[in-house]
Structure 1
Amino acid sequence: MTLMLSRTPALGELLATCCHTGRMRSEQVVSVQGDAELIARAGHLIESARTEFVCAARDMRTWSQPEAMCAIRNRVRAAASTGFTCRKLLSPAALADEQARAHLREVQRSGTLVRISGSPLPHETIVIDQRVMILAGRQTPGGREYTVTTSQVLVDGVHSLFRAVWDSAVELDAYLRDDVPHLDADSRLILQALGSGATDESAARRLGVSLRTYRRRVAELMAKLEADSRFQAGMRAAELGLPA
Protein backbone atom coordinates (compact mmCIF):
# COMPACT_ATOMS: atom_id res chain seq x y z
CA MET A 1 0.00 0.00 0.00
CA THR A 2 1.37 3.41 -0.96
CA LEU A 3 0.70 6.17 1.54
CA MET A 4 0.82 9.74 0.27
CA LEU A 5 2.76 12.17 2.42
CA SER A 6 -0.29 14.32 3.11
CA ARG A 7 -1.95 11.37 4.86
CA THR A 8 1.00 10.09 6.89
CA PRO A 9 3.41 11.30 9.57
CA ALA A 10 6.61 12.93 8.34
CA LEU A 11 8.73 10.43 6.48
CA GLY A 12 11.80 11.21 8.56
CA GLU A 13 9.88 10.64 11.81
CA LEU A 14 8.34 7.42 10.51
CA LEU A 15 11.60 5.88 9.31
CA ALA A 16 13.70 7.21 12.17
CA THR A 17 11.40 5.42 14.62
CA CYS A 18 11.95 2.16 12.74
CA CYS A 19 15.71 2.62 12.62
CA HIS A 20 16.13 3.62 16.25
CA THR A 21 14.09 0.72 17.58
CA GLY A 22 15.48 -1.81 15.12
CA ARG A 23 11.88 -2.83 14.36
CA MET A 24 9.24 -1.71 11.88
CA ARG A 25 6.41 0.24 13.37
CA SER A 26 4.42 -0.75 10.29
CA GLU A 27 5.19 -1.75 6.74
CA GLN A 28 5.19 1.58 4.97
CA VAL A 29 5.83 2.54 1.36
CA VAL A 30 6.07 6.30 0.84
CA SER A 31 6.73 8.36 -2.31
CA VAL A 32 8.61 11.67 -2.43
CA GLN A 33 9.29 13.92 -5.42
CA GLY A 34 12.79 15.12 -6.21
CA ASP A 35 16.16 15.04 -4.46
CA ALA A 36 15.42 18.04 -2.26
CA GLU A 37 12.33 16.48 -0.68
CA LEU A 38 14.07 13.13 -0.30
CA ILE A 39 17.03 14.65 1.54
CA ALA A 40 14.80 16.92 3.63
CA ARG A 41 12.80 13.95 4.86
CA ALA A 42 15.22 11.04 4.77
CA GLY A 43 18.73 12.42 4.31
CA HIS A 44 19.63 11.84 7.95
CA LEU A 45 18.79 8.16 7.52
CA ILE A 46 21.35 7.87 4.73
CA GLU A 47 23.99 9.52 6.89
CA SER A 48 23.11 7.48 10.01
CA ALA A 49 23.70 4.04 8.47
CA ARG A 50 25.57 2.02 11.09
CA THR A 51 26.40 -1.41 9.66
CA GLU A 52 25.82 -1.55 5.90
CA PHE A 53 25.16 0.77 2.98
CA VAL A 54 24.60 -0.83 -0.42
CA CYS A 55 23.88 0.93 -3.68
CA ALA A 56 23.06 -0.35 -7.18
CA ALA A 57 22.90 2.09 -10.10
CA ARG A 58 23.20 2.31 -13.88
CA ASP A 59 25.43 5.38 -13.86
CA MET A 60 26.71 8.21 -11.69
CA ARG A 61 24.01 10.77 -12.50
CA THR A 62 21.04 9.76 -10.34
CA TRP A 63 21.75 12.09 -7.44
CA SER A 64 21.80 15.54 -9.05
CA GLN A 65 21.32 17.88 -6.09
CA PRO A 66 24.39 18.85 -4.01
CA GLU A 67 22.63 17.83 -0.78
CA ALA A 68 21.93 14.34 -2.09
CA MET A 69 25.47 13.92 -3.39
CA CYS A 70 26.86 15.08 -0.04
CA ALA A 71 24.75 12.60 1.92
CA ILE A 72 25.87 9.71 -0.27
CA ARG A 73 29.49 10.88 -0.18
CA ASN A 74 29.47 10.98 3.62
CA ARG A 75 28.29 7.38 3.75
CA VAL A 76 30.91 6.29 1.26
CA ARG A 77 33.64 7.97 3.32
CA ALA A 78 32.45 6.05 6.38
CA ALA A 79 33.36 2.78 4.67
CA ALA A 80 36.70 2.85 6.44
CA SER A 81 34.94 2.64 9.81
CA THR A 82 35.33 -0.63 11.68
CA GLY A 83 32.34 -2.90 11.24
CA PHE A 84 30.79 -0.81 8.46
CA THR A 85 30.39 -2.22 4.94
CA CYS A 86 29.73 -0.08 1.87
CA ARG A 87 29.07 -1.67 -1.53
CA LYS A 88 28.49 0.02 -4.89
CA LEU A 89 27.23 -2.09 -7.79
CA LEU A 90 27.32 -0.32 -11.16
CA SER A 91 26.77 -0.99 -14.84
CA PRO A 92 29.55 -0.42 -17.43
CA ALA A 93 27.86 2.91 -18.27
CA ALA A 94 29.25 4.25 -15.00
CA LEU A 95 32.74 4.00 -16.53
CA ALA A 96 31.85 6.19 -19.49
CA ASP A 97 34.69 8.66 -18.98
CA GLU A 98 37.96 9.05 -17.13
CA GLN A 99 36.46 11.36 -14.52
CA ALA A 100 34.01 8.63 -13.50
CA ARG A 101 36.79 6.03 -13.38
CA ALA A 102 38.95 8.30 -11.23
CA HIS A 103 36.05 8.94 -8.87
CA LEU A 104 35.37 5.23 -8.46
CA ARG A 105 39.03 4.50 -7.79
CA GLU A 106 38.98 7.15 -5.06
CA VAL A 107 35.79 5.66 -3.63
CA GLN A 108 37.43 2.24 -3.65
CA ARG A 109 40.55 3.56 -1.89
CA SER A 110 38.31 4.92 0.87
CA GLY A 111 37.19 1.36 1.64
CA THR A 112 34.06 0.98 -0.46
CA LEU A 113 33.70 -2.27 -2.38
CA VAL A 114 32.97 -1.54 -6.06
CA ARG A 115 31.85 -4.07 -8.66
CA ILE A 116 30.65 -3.84 -12.26
CA SER A 117 27.76 -5.94 -13.56
CA GLY A 118 26.51 -6.56 -17.07
CA SER A 119 23.04 -7.36 -15.69
CA PRO A 120 20.31 -4.71 -16.08
CA LEU A 121 20.34 -2.43 -13.04
CA PRO A 122 17.76 0.06 -11.73
CA HIS A 123 18.23 3.82 -11.90
CA GLU A 124 19.31 3.63 -8.27
CA THR A 125 18.56 1.42 -5.31
CA ILE A 126 19.92 2.01 -1.83
CA VAL A 127 19.50 -0.32 1.15
CA ILE A 128 20.49 1.00 4.57
CA ASP A 129 21.29 -1.47 7.36
CA GLN A 130 18.88 -3.94 5.68
CA ARG A 131 16.03 -1.95 7.25
CA VAL A 132 15.34 0.97 4.91
CA MET A 133 15.27 0.94 1.12
CA ILE A 134 15.20 3.85 -1.35
CA LEU A 135 14.31 3.29 -5.00
CA ALA A 136 14.85 6.00 -7.62
CA GLY A 137 12.48 6.35 -10.55
CA ARG A 138 13.06 7.83 -14.00
CA GLN A 139 14.05 11.45 -14.45
CA THR A 140 11.03 13.67 -15.22
CA PRO A 141 10.63 17.45 -15.71
CA GLY A 142 9.55 17.64 -12.07
CA GLY A 143 12.50 15.59 -10.85
CA ARG A 144 12.79 11.93 -9.92
CA GLU A 145 10.19 10.20 -7.81
CA TYR A 146 11.69 8.19 -4.97
CA THR A 147 10.03 5.35 -3.13
CA VAL A 148 11.11 4.79 0.45
CA THR A 149 10.05 1.70 2.36
CA THR A 150 10.62 -0.03 5.69
CA SER A 151 8.72 -3.15 4.66
CA GLN A 152 11.04 -5.95 5.77
CA VAL A 153 9.63 -8.26 3.11
CA LEU A 154 10.49 -5.77 0.35
CA VAL A 155 13.84 -4.81 1.85
CA ASP A 156 14.92 -8.43 2.32
CA GLY A 157 13.78 -9.37 -1.18
CA VAL A 158 15.69 -6.57 -2.89
CA HIS A 159 18.74 -7.11 -0.69
CA SER A 160 18.80 -10.80 -1.68
CA LEU A 161 18.60 -9.86 -5.37
CA PHE A 162 21.40 -7.35 -4.86
CA ARG A 163 23.65 -9.99 -3.30
CA ALA A 164 22.93 -12.45 -6.11
CA VAL A 165 23.95 -9.91 -8.76
CA TRP A 166 26.86 -8.74 -6.62
CA ASP A 167 28.27 -12.26 -6.32
CA SER A 168 28.36 -12.61 -10.12
CA ALA A 169 29.72 -9.10 -10.78
CA VAL A 170 33.39 -8.25 -11.43
CA GLU A 171 35.58 -6.18 -9.12
CA LEU A 172 36.39 -2.74 -10.50
CA ASP A 173 40.13 -3.29 -10.94
CA ALA A 174 39.62 -6.64 -12.68
CA TYR A 175 36.98 -5.15 -14.97
CA LEU A 176 39.24 -2.28 -15.98
CA ARG A 177 42.11 -4.67 -16.68
CA ASP A 178 39.89 -6.80 -18.92
CA ASP A 179 38.54 -3.68 -20.63
CA VAL A 180 41.92 -2.77 -22.14
CA PRO A 181 41.54 -1.90 -25.87
CA HIS A 182 43.80 -3.53 -28.45
CA LEU A 183 46.18 -1.19 -30.29
CA ASP A 184 47.69 -2.16 -33.63
CA ALA A 185 51.20 -1.14 -34.71
CA ASP A 186 50.05 2.14 -36.30
CA SER A 187 48.07 3.09 -33.20
CA ARG A 188 51.13 2.49 -31.02
CA LEU A 189 53.23 4.68 -33.34
CA ILE A 190 50.61 7.42 -33.12
CA LEU A 191 50.57 7.10 -29.34
CA GLN A 192 54.36 7.40 -29.33
CA ALA A 193 54.18 10.50 -31.55
CA LEU A 194 51.63 12.11 -29.24
CA GLY A 195 53.87 11.42 -26.27
CA SER A 196 56.94 12.86 -27.98
CA GLY A 197 55.28 16.16 -28.75
CA ALA A 198 55.88 15.80 -32.49
CA THR A 199 53.80 18.00 -34.77
CA ASP A 200 51.01 16.39 -36.77
CA GLU A 201 52.94 17.08 -39.98
CA SER A 202 56.09 15.39 -38.66
CA ALA A 203 54.19 12.40 -37.28
CA ALA A 204 52.25 11.98 -40.54
CA ARG A 205 55.50 11.92 -42.54
CA ARG A 206 56.98 9.38 -40.14
CA LEU A 207 53.97 7.10 -40.63
CA GLY A 208 53.91 7.69 -44.38
CA VAL A 209 50.32 8.94 -44.43
CA SER A 210 48.63 12.20 -45.32
CA LEU A 211 48.01 14.81 -42.64
CA ARG A 212 44.26 14.24 -42.98
CA THR A 213 44.65 10.48 -42.51
CA TYR A 214 46.91 10.96 -39.51
CA ARG A 215 44.43 13.27 -37.79
CA ARG A 216 41.61 10.84 -38.51
CA ARG A 217 43.62 8.04 -36.92
CA VAL A 218 44.36 10.23 -33.90
CA ALA A 219 40.61 10.80 -33.51
CA GLU A 220 39.98 7.05 -33.81
CA LEU A 221 42.64 6.34 -31.19
CA MET A 222 41.11 8.88 -28.81
CA ALA A 223 37.70 7.27 -29.27
CA LYS A 224 39.15 3.81 -28.62
CA LEU A 225 40.76 5.07 -25.42
CA GLU A 226 37.61 7.02 -24.48
CA ALA A 227 39.67 10.19 -24.18
CA ASP A 228 38.48 13.76 -24.72
CA SER A 229 41.93 15.14 -25.55
CA ARG A 230 45.28 13.96 -26.85
CA PHE A 231 46.83 14.46 -23.44
CA GLN A 232 44.09 12.37 -21.85
CA ALA A 233 44.67 9.66 -24.46
CA GLY A 234 48.29 9.42 -23.36
CA MET A 235 47.32 9.33 -19.70
CA ARG A 236 44.69 6.67 -20.35
CA ALA A 237 47.16 4.53 -22.30
CA ALA A 238 49.73 4.78 -19.50
CA GLU A 239 47.08 3.92 -16.94
CA LEU A 240 46.13 0.80 -18.89
CA GLY A 241 49.75 -0.17 -19.36
CA LEU A 242 49.50 -0.04 -23.15
CA PRO A 243 52.84 -0.23 -24.99
CA ALA A 244 53.79 2.76 -27.12
Structure 2
Amino acid sequence: MLESLGLNREEQALYEELVSRPPVRATELAGSSALAKLVDLDLVTLINTDPPRYVVLPPDTALDVLARRRERELADARRKMVELTVRFHGSTARREPADLVEVLHGDQEIAQTMSRLLLGARNEVCGWDAPPYRDDPNQVNQLEIDQLKRGVSFRVIYDRRGSVDRPGRLAALIQGIADGEQARVGDVPMKLIVTDAPMAFVPFDVHATRHETALLIHDPVMVEGLAALFELYWRKAVPLATYDPQPPATDRPTAAERELLALLMSGFTDNEMAVHLGWSERTVRKHIDGMRHRLNADTRFEAGYQAVLRGWLGHRG
Protein backbone atom coordinates (compact mmCIF):
# COMPACT_ATOMS: atom_id res chain seq x y z
CA MET A 1 0.00 0.00 0.00
CA LEU A 2 2.98 2.34 0.41
CA GLU A 3 4.44 1.77 -3.08
CA SER A 4 3.06 5.13 -4.20
CA LEU A 5 5.22 6.79 -1.52
CA GLY A 6 8.38 5.15 -2.87
CA LEU A 7 8.64 2.01 -0.72
CA ASN A 8 9.04 -1.44 -2.22
CA ARG A 9 7.68 -4.56 -0.53
CA GLU A 10 10.84 -5.29 1.46
CA GLU A 11 11.09 -1.70 2.72
CA GLN A 12 7.41 -1.62 3.65
CA ALA A 13 7.69 -4.93 5.53
CA LEU A 14 10.66 -3.65 7.53
CA TYR A 15 8.93 -0.34 8.24
CA GLU A 16 5.79 -2.05 9.54
CA GLU A 17 7.94 -4.32 11.70
CA LEU A 18 9.86 -1.38 13.20
CA VAL A 19 6.65 0.57 13.86
CA SER A 20 5.48 -2.16 16.23
CA ARG A 21 8.83 -2.56 18.03
CA PRO A 22 10.77 -0.46 20.53
CA PRO A 23 14.03 1.14 19.31
CA VAL A 24 16.20 -1.53 17.67
CA ARG A 25 19.93 -1.91 18.12
CA ALA A 26 21.87 -0.74 15.09
CA THR A 27 23.81 -4.00 15.00
CA GLU A 28 20.58 -5.95 14.37
CA LEU A 29 19.99 -4.06 11.12
CA ALA A 30 23.55 -3.72 9.87
CA GLY A 31 23.85 -3.91 6.09
CA SER A 32 20.11 -3.64 5.41
CA SER A 33 19.43 -1.85 2.12
CA ALA A 34 15.77 -1.50 3.12
CA LEU A 35 16.82 0.31 6.30
CA ALA A 36 19.02 2.68 4.29
CA LYS A 37 15.98 3.65 2.18
CA LEU A 38 13.83 4.24 5.29
CA VAL A 39 16.52 6.48 6.77
CA ASP A 40 16.88 8.35 3.47
CA LEU A 41 13.12 9.01 3.46
CA ASP A 42 13.24 10.27 7.07
CA LEU A 43 10.94 7.49 8.28
CA VAL A 44 13.58 6.04 10.62
CA THR A 45 16.48 7.75 12.39
CA LEU A 46 19.55 6.65 14.36
CA ILE A 47 19.77 7.87 17.96
CA ASN A 48 23.11 8.03 19.76
CA THR A 49 22.32 5.87 22.76
CA ASP A 50 24.59 3.22 24.21
CA PRO A 51 24.38 1.10 22.16
CA PRO A 52 23.12 3.13 19.14
CA ARG A 53 19.54 2.31 18.16
CA TYR A 54 17.16 3.00 15.29
CA VAL A 55 13.81 4.56 16.13
CA VAL A 56 10.75 5.09 13.94
CA LEU A 57 9.53 8.66 13.62
CA PRO A 58 5.78 9.18 14.25
CA PRO A 59 4.08 7.70 11.13
CA ASP A 60 1.30 10.30 11.08
CA THR A 61 3.93 13.02 10.63
CA ALA A 62 6.61 11.21 8.61
CA LEU A 63 4.25 9.58 6.10
CA ASP A 64 2.29 12.81 5.67
CA VAL A 65 5.50 14.68 4.84
CA LEU A 66 6.43 11.93 2.37
CA ALA A 67 2.98 12.04 0.75
CA ARG A 68 3.19 15.81 0.37
CA ARG A 69 6.62 15.42 -1.22
CA ARG A 70 5.16 12.99 -3.76
CA GLU A 71 2.33 15.41 -4.50
CA ARG A 72 4.87 18.15 -5.20
CA GLU A 73 6.79 15.81 -7.51
CA LEU A 74 3.61 15.04 -9.47
CA ALA A 75 2.80 18.75 -9.69
CA ASP A 76 6.34 19.42 -10.95
CA ALA A 77 5.91 16.66 -13.57
CA ARG A 78 2.66 18.22 -14.80
CA ARG A 79 4.31 21.65 -15.04
CA LYS A 80 7.16 20.04 -16.96
CA MET A 81 4.66 18.56 -19.40
CA VAL A 82 3.16 22.00 -20.02
CA GLU A 83 6.63 23.47 -20.54
CA LEU A 84 7.58 20.69 -22.96
CA THR A 85 4.34 21.16 -24.88
CA VAL A 86 5.12 24.85 -25.36
CA ARG A 87 8.68 24.03 -26.42
CA PHE A 88 7.41 21.35 -28.77
CA HIS A 89 5.01 23.66 -30.60
CA GLY A 90 7.76 26.28 -30.85
CA SER A 91 10.30 23.81 -32.23
CA THR A 92 7.99 22.24 -34.80
CA ALA A 93 7.37 25.64 -36.34
CA ARG A 94 11.09 25.90 -37.18
CA ARG A 95 11.87 22.34 -38.25
CA GLU A 96 10.99 20.07 -41.14
CA PRO A 97 8.41 17.39 -40.23
CA ALA A 98 10.70 14.65 -41.54
CA ASP A 99 13.28 15.66 -38.92
CA LEU A 100 10.77 15.08 -36.12
CA VAL A 101 8.79 11.99 -37.04
CA GLU A 102 9.35 9.05 -39.37
CA VAL A 103 6.25 7.26 -40.68
CA LEU A 104 6.60 3.47 -40.95
CA HIS A 105 4.47 1.21 -43.14
CA GLY A 106 4.03 -2.56 -43.22
CA ASP A 107 4.90 -5.44 -40.90
CA GLN A 108 8.49 -5.84 -42.09
CA GLU A 109 9.49 -2.19 -41.71
CA ILE A 110 7.79 -1.94 -38.32
CA ALA A 111 9.44 -5.15 -37.04
CA GLN A 112 12.90 -4.10 -38.24
CA THR A 113 12.52 -0.64 -36.72
CA MET A 114 11.38 -2.04 -33.36
CA SER A 115 14.43 -4.32 -33.27
CA ARG A 116 16.72 -1.41 -34.10
CA LEU A 117 15.02 0.71 -31.44
CA LEU A 118 15.51 -1.89 -28.70
CA LEU A 119 19.11 -2.59 -29.73
CA GLY A 120 19.87 1.14 -29.64
CA ALA A 121 18.84 1.51 -25.99
CA ARG A 122 21.82 2.17 -23.74
CA ASN A 123 20.32 1.98 -20.25
CA GLU A 124 16.53 1.74 -20.29
CA VAL A 125 13.44 0.87 -22.32
CA CYS A 126 10.00 1.97 -21.11
CA GLY A 127 6.73 0.87 -22.63
CA TRP A 128 2.97 0.49 -22.53
CA ASP A 129 1.67 -2.89 -23.68
CA ALA A 130 -1.84 -2.87 -25.13
CA PRO A 131 -3.68 -4.55 -28.04
CA PRO A 132 -3.87 -5.05 -30.94
CA TYR A 133 -0.87 -7.37 -31.37
CA ARG A 134 1.05 -8.06 -34.57
CA ASP A 135 2.43 -11.33 -33.15
CA ASP A 136 1.49 -13.66 -30.31
CA PRO A 137 2.11 -11.52 -27.17
CA ASN A 138 2.87 -14.65 -25.11
CA GLN A 139 5.90 -15.67 -27.16
CA VAL A 140 9.40 -15.06 -25.78
CA ASN A 141 11.01 -11.76 -26.80
CA GLN A 142 14.59 -12.95 -27.18
CA LEU A 143 15.82 -9.47 -28.03
CA GLU A 144 14.53 -8.15 -24.69
CA ILE A 145 16.15 -11.04 -22.83
CA ASP A 146 19.50 -10.35 -24.53
CA GLN A 147 19.29 -6.65 -23.65
CA LEU A 148 18.38 -7.46 -20.04
CA LYS A 149 21.50 -9.62 -19.82
CA ARG A 150 23.54 -6.65 -21.05
CA GLY A 151 22.19 -4.53 -18.21
CA VAL A 152 19.46 -2.60 -20.06
CA SER A 153 16.46 -2.00 -17.79
CA PHE A 154 12.94 -2.73 -19.08
CA ARG A 155 9.92 -1.14 -17.39
CA VAL A 156 6.55 -2.10 -18.88
CA ILE A 157 2.96 -1.24 -17.95
CA TYR A 158 0.51 -3.89 -19.16
CA ASP A 159 -3.05 -2.86 -19.89
CA ARG A 160 -5.10 -4.76 -17.34
CA ARG A 161 -8.17 -5.22 -19.53
CA GLY A 162 -6.69 -5.72 -22.98
CA SER A 163 -3.34 -7.34 -22.20
CA VAL A 164 -3.14 -9.10 -18.83
CA ASP A 165 -6.48 -10.87 -19.12
CA ARG A 166 -5.54 -12.74 -22.32
CA PRO A 167 -5.31 -16.55 -21.98
CA GLY A 168 -1.83 -17.63 -20.89
CA ARG A 169 -0.69 -14.03 -20.51
CA LEU A 170 -0.04 -14.14 -16.77
CA ALA A 171 2.37 -17.07 -17.08
CA ALA A 172 4.27 -15.22 -19.83
CA LEU A 173 4.51 -12.09 -17.68
CA ILE A 174 5.76 -14.10 -14.71
CA GLN A 175 8.53 -15.51 -16.90
CA GLY A 176 9.39 -12.01 -18.09
CA ILE A 177 9.72 -10.80 -14.51
CA ALA A 178 11.91 -13.81 -13.72
CA ASP A 179 14.15 -12.71 -16.62
CA GLY A 180 14.50 -9.25 -15.04
CA GLU A 181 11.69 -7.13 -16.46
CA GLN A 182 9.95 -4.65 -14.15
CA ALA A 183 6.22 -5.06 -14.80
CA ARG A 184 3.19 -3.15 -13.61
CA VAL A 185 -0.53 -3.33 -14.38
CA GLY A 186 -2.65 -0.31 -15.20
CA ASP A 187 -4.97 1.35 -17.70
CA VAL A 188 -2.94 2.60 -20.67
CA PRO A 189 -4.39 4.38 -23.72
CA MET A 190 -2.20 2.81 -26.42
CA LYS A 191 1.00 0.94 -27.21
CA LEU A 192 4.20 2.92 -26.63
CA ILE A 193 7.96 2.36 -26.50
CA VAL A 194 10.40 5.01 -25.25
CA THR A 195 14.17 4.49 -25.11
CA ASP A 196 17.09 6.58 -23.94
CA ALA A 197 18.47 6.76 -27.52
CA PRO A 198 16.36 9.02 -27.32
CA MET A 199 13.59 7.72 -29.57
CA ALA A 200 9.94 6.74 -29.21
CA PHE A 201 7.71 4.33 -31.13
CA VAL A 202 3.92 4.72 -31.40
CA PRO A 203 1.87 2.30 -33.57
CA PHE A 204 -1.36 3.37 -35.26
CA ASP A 205 -4.49 1.25 -34.93
CA VAL A 206 -5.35 1.41 -38.62
CA HIS A 207 -7.31 -1.85 -38.51
CA ALA A 208 -9.18 -3.33 -35.56
CA THR A 209 -6.93 -6.36 -35.22
CA ARG A 210 -3.41 -5.17 -36.09
CA HIS A 211 -1.05 -2.21 -36.55
CA GLU A 212 0.14 -1.52 -40.10
CA THR A 213 1.44 2.01 -39.59
CA ALA A 214 3.62 3.45 -36.85
CA LEU A 215 5.53 6.60 -35.92
CA LEU A 216 9.20 6.60 -35.01
CA ILE A 217 9.81 9.85 -33.12
CA HIS A 218 13.32 11.31 -33.22
CA ASP A 219 12.73 14.76 -31.76
CA PRO A 220 14.24 14.87 -28.22
CA VAL A 221 11.59 17.29 -26.95
CA MET A 222 8.73 15.03 -28.02
CA VAL A 223 10.49 11.96 -26.62
CA GLU A 224 11.05 13.74 -23.32
CA GLY A 225 7.36 14.61 -23.16
CA LEU A 226 6.33 10.99 -23.79
CA ALA A 227 8.84 9.82 -21.18
CA ALA A 228 7.31 12.20 -18.61
CA LEU A 229 3.85 10.88 -19.50
CA PHE A 230 5.08 7.31 -19.04
CA GLU A 231 6.36 8.18 -15.55
CA LEU A 232 2.95 9.54 -14.53
CA TYR A 233 1.29 6.29 -15.57
CA TRP A 234 4.07 4.25 -13.92
CA ARG A 235 3.40 5.92 -10.57
CA LYS A 236 -0.30 5.07 -10.82
CA ALA A 237 0.20 1.47 -12.00
CA VAL A 238 0.24 -1.48 -9.61
CA PRO A 239 3.38 -3.68 -9.38
CA LEU A 240 2.59 -7.06 -10.89
CA ALA A 241 2.62 -9.70 -8.16
CA THR A 242 4.08 -13.04 -9.17
CA TYR A 243 4.11 -16.30 -7.35
CA ASP A 244 7.19 -18.26 -6.40
CA PRO A 245 7.11 -21.54 -8.38
CA GLN A 246 8.88 -23.31 -5.50
CA PRO A 247 7.62 -21.91 -2.18
CA PRO A 248 8.78 -23.36 1.15
CA ALA A 249 7.79 -26.98 1.67
CA THR A 250 5.81 -26.05 4.78
CA ASP A 251 2.42 -24.47 4.31
CA ARG A 252 2.70 -24.76 0.52
CA PRO A 253 -0.16 -23.02 -1.36
CA THR A 254 -1.80 -24.71 -4.33
CA ALA A 255 -1.05 -23.55 -7.88
CA ALA A 256 -4.57 -22.10 -8.10
CA GLU A 257 -4.06 -20.17 -4.85
CA ARG A 258 -0.76 -18.74 -6.07
CA GLU A 259 -2.32 -17.54 -9.32
CA LEU A 260 -5.30 -16.11 -7.42
CA LEU A 261 -2.94 -14.24 -5.08
CA ALA A 262 -0.99 -12.91 -8.08
CA LEU A 263 -4.19 -11.47 -9.55
CA LEU A 264 -5.39 -10.15 -6.19
CA MET A 265 -2.12 -8.35 -5.47
CA SER A 266 -2.13 -6.85 -8.97
CA GLY A 267 -5.38 -5.00 -8.29
CA PHE A 268 -7.88 -7.20 -10.14
CA THR A 269 -11.53 -7.08 -9.09
CA ASP A 270 -13.45 -10.21 -8.08
CA ASN A 271 -15.18 -10.22 -11.45
CA GLU A 272 -11.91 -9.87 -13.39
CA MET A 273 -10.29 -12.66 -11.38
CA ALA A 274 -13.31 -14.88 -11.99
CA VAL A 275 -13.15 -14.30 -15.75
CA HIS A 276 -9.39 -14.94 -15.86
CA LEU A 277 -9.58 -18.16 -13.82
CA GLY A 278 -12.84 -19.43 -15.29
CA TRP A 279 -14.51 -19.40 -11.87
CA SER A 280 -17.62 -17.76 -10.49
CA GLU A 281 -17.25 -14.66 -8.31
CA ARG A 282 -18.60 -16.70 -5.40
CA THR A 283 -15.81 -19.26 -5.87
CA VAL A 284 -13.22 -16.47 -6.01
CA ARG A 285 -14.47 -15.00 -2.73
CA LYS A 286 -14.60 -18.45 -1.14
CA HIS A 287 -10.94 -19.13 -2.02
CA ILE A 288 -9.85 -15.68 -0.81
CA ASP A 289 -11.67 -16.15 2.50
CA GLY A 290 -10.04 -19.57 2.87
CA MET A 291 -6.58 -18.12 2.33
CA ARG A 292 -7.27 -15.30 4.78
CA HIS A 293 -8.16 -17.91 7.38
CA ARG A 294 -4.99 -19.93 6.68
CA LEU A 295 -2.88 -16.78 6.85
CA ASN A 296 -4.66 -15.54 10.00
CA ALA A 297 -5.45 -12.27 8.20
CA ASP A 298 -8.43 -9.99 8.80
CA THR A 299 -8.25 -8.20 5.43
CA ARG A 300 -7.23 -9.01 1.87
CA PHE A 301 -4.28 -6.65 2.10
CA GLU A 302 -3.08 -8.35 5.28
CA ALA A 303 -3.44 -11.72 3.54
CA GLY A 304 -1.22 -10.52 0.70
CA TYR A 305 1.28 -9.11 3.17
CA GLN A 306 1.42 -12.38 5.12
CA ALA A 307 1.78 -14.32 1.86
CA VAL A 308 4.85 -12.24 1.01
CA LEU A 309 6.38 -12.83 4.45
CA ARG A 310 5.85 -16.58 4.12
CA GLY A 311 7.45 -16.71 0.69
CA TRP A 312 4.24 -17.44 -1.19
CA LEU A 313 4.79 -14.45 -3.47
CA GLY A 314 7.75 -12.63 -4.95
CA HIS A 315 7.50 -8.96 -6.01
CA ARG A 316 9.59 -7.12 -8.55
CA GLY A 317 9.29 -3.82 -10.33
Q: State the match for 1:212 in structure 2.
A: none
Aligned length: 170
Q: Which runs of 5+ in 1 are unaligned?
A: 4-26, 183-220
The structural deviation recorded for 1:2 is 3.6
TM-score, L = length of structure 2: 0.45
Match of 1:132, as an amino acid?
M
1:88 lines up with 2:156 in the alignment: yes
Identity %: 16
Q: Which of 176, 184, 191 is the equivalent residue of 1:107?
A: 176
Q: State the match for 1:173 in structure 2.
A: 241
1:126 lines up with 2:126 in the alignment: no
CA distance in 2, matches of 1:69, 1:107: 10
The answer to whether the 8 A contact 1:49-1:75 is kept is no
Q: State the match for 1:78 in structure 2.
A: 146
Q: State the match for 1:146 in structure 2.
A: 214
**Cα displacement string for residues 20-59 of structure 1 (whole angstroms, at most 9, x for unaligned residues):** xxxxxxx431101133112235532323422111111224
The answer to whether the 8 A contact 2:138-2:172 is kept is no
The answer to whether the 8 A contact 1:132-1:149 is kept is yes
CA distance in 1, matches of 2:122, 2:206: 30
**Cα displacement string for residues 195-224 of structure 1 (whole angstroms, at most 9, x for unaligned residues):** xxxxxxxxxxxxxxxxxxxxxxxxxx9982
Q: State the match for 2:107 in structure 1.
A: 35
Q: 1:225 and 1:242, CA in 2 relative to 1: closer, same or farther beyond 3 A?
A: farther
Query: What secondary structure sits across from 1:30 in the alignment?
Result: strand
Q: Which of 105, 111, 135 is the equivalent residue of 2:202?
A: 135
CA distance in 1, matches of 2:114, 2:167: 32
Structure 1: 4+ residue segments shifted above 6 A: none
Q: Which runs of 5+ in 2 are unaligned?
A: 1-95, 243-261, 292-317
Q: State the match for 1:196 in structure 2.
A: none
RMSD: 3.6
Q: 1:129 and 1:227, CA in 2 relative to 1: closer, same or farther beyond 3 A?
A: same
The structural deviation recorded for 1:97 is 3.4
1:46 lines up with 2:118 in the alignment: yes
The answer to whether the 8 A contact 1:79-1:110 is kept is no
The answer to whether the 8 A contact 2:125-2:153 is kept is yes
Q: 1:143 and 1:158, CA in 2 relative to 1: closer, same or farther beyond 3 A?
A: closer
Q: Which of 221, 224, 242 is the equivalent residue of 2:274?
A: 224
The answer to whether the 8 A contact 1:38-1:146 is kept is yes
